[in-house]
Structure 1
Amino acid sequence: MKNQYFGDYRDMFKYDLIQEAMKKNKGFKRFSFIPMLTDFKECNDGNKRYYNSEKIEKRPGSGNTDLVGYLRDYNDKVRDRKNRDLRHIRDYFGAYINIEIFEPDEPMQGKYFVNKNRSLYFQAIPDIYLESALVFVDPDNGIEVKNSSKKHILYQEIRSLYERMSDDSVLMIYQHFPRQKHEEYIDRRKEELGQRSGSKLKPLWISDNEIIFFFLSKGQEANNIISGVLSDYSGKYPEKCRNG
């Protein structure tokens, strides 16, 4: 995740889905956001901000008028991408749910996520963030690839978080679609994720054909609730969403 991405229209999908999951699973005491924050880069990624346009119609999250209004107002107020700050999502969620955003101790870790300090970063995540929580990890690109970088979360890191989580917690992971056939990619990635995370339950997923969110549950009850959330959510946006 980069601060410059905050407020992109994909955030409608991301934060609306999180809000739905938190609302429907009463066992969640907190939303724990692990952003894997990386430094600014001059590019046009994460710059789709059409909140005053028909381009957002029928997109996942577009029906959440409070969230859309918040993101629109934020983008109108903070136009310079270098000044955007994902921590401002607290301003929105504070009225709805308990949110924790992991920020590593700068003298130990530094402000940004980097490869050489990967282990320190994940070890520093407080245990309380993983208790009765929806734990969302948001790397730039997604899950481990052959030549992983700071843009990816490694399978060993996923497994470590999963093993540390309480039985009523759920791990949610951001994944950007690579240039592969979507169905084949989801099937392969889901199989790998299930095996290498150590999960006894099959991963769940939801996608808008641009990005995917994978979910790993430890307990059957939480898994059933998330499965229902994803099914209902896809039903709200049938032209864009699918899940499995």
Structure 2
Amino acid sequence: MVQLKYYGDDRDYFKYDLISFVLKNGDFKQYGFVPMLTEHRHDNEGNIAPKSSACKSKDLLNFIATHSNRDLNNWELWLNNYISTYNSIQPINTDYFNGGNRIGYWEKYKKIISAEKSLVFFDPDTGIQAGRKSRIEPEHKEKYILNTEIGAIISKLSASSVFVIYQHLQRNSKKHEQDIKSKCDELAKIDSTLNISVYREKDLAFLFIARGVKIRGILNAYRQKSTVSPSDVYPKT
């Protein structure tokens, strides 16, 4: 989730438009939210307000405008339109993910992560590690799901469920495809039987990880209605 100050920004608009579409068109009985919220950092970054889009939900844009208070519980109000059971852990706005509580954090969410017929959304600051741990500054590890953690997380994935992991891509757009490939390769090393599909829009990607559920058709349908460039579904074949 990064920080609460980014609630309702343009990335949230994209995130929840995509998630809503998948829930609407998939066969899920539950939704699980693993926010991975980090504490406020004083930096020069600022959230960008969402703008009306020809290919994204106007109702969602209006919802964000009318629920502008920075409260992650608002997403439950929105997604209740698409799912009967919404699962997360309270207090959601102050339960921070950091280097000192990683083990305990995953333990708290294990029931949500292992749920049947569930779409489970992981919202880390940056994404999965997929590279040498030494490249990550110690103070930045809270932004990632580490390679040492992802295997244990995936081992809890039900055959009837799908994991979605937010992934911020590097700034160099020419390296986006390689960046996505490296993430998928890392996941495949953990479990070669996984069905991995990726939806990418500009410098953001969402990794969809499944065992028995087919999700690619839904992502292709979302891509077909998109007017955003560049956007794509991986693998392309």
Contiguous gaps of at least 5 residues in structure 1:
79-83
Q: Which amino acid aligns with 1:24?
A: N
Deviations 1:98-146 (A, max 9, x none): 321234799xxx7311112111110121425522211111111111153
Is 1:207 matched up with 2:193? no
Cα offset, 1:50, TM superposition: 4.0
Structure 2 residue aligned with 1:91: 77
CA distance in 2, matches of 1:46, 1:91: 25
Structure 1 residue aligned with 2:53: 57
Deviations 1:175-218 (A, max 9, x none): 1111341122112222122213x241342101111211001101
Residues 151-170 of structure 1 correspond to what in structure 2 (within 5 A)?
151-170=143-162
Is 1:191 matched up with 2:191? no
CA contact (8 A) 1:141 1:152 kept: yes
Structure 2 residue aligned with 1:116: 100
Contiguous gaps of at least 5 residues in structure 2:
none
State the number of aligned residues: 221
Cα offset, 1:20, TM superposition: 1.5
CA distance in 1, matches of 2:92, 2:186: 32
Structure 1 residue aligned with 2:216: 227
Q: Which amino acid aligns with 1:163?
A: S
Higher helix share: 1
Tell me: CA distance 1:20–1:105, structure 2 relative to 1, closer, same or farther (3 Å). closer
CA distance in 1, matches of 2:224, 2:111: 35
Structure 2 residue aligned with 1:21: 22
Q: TM-score, normalised by structure 2?
A: 0.84
Residue 150 of structure 1 aligns to a residue whose secondary structure is helix
Cα offset, 1:165, TM superposition: 2.1
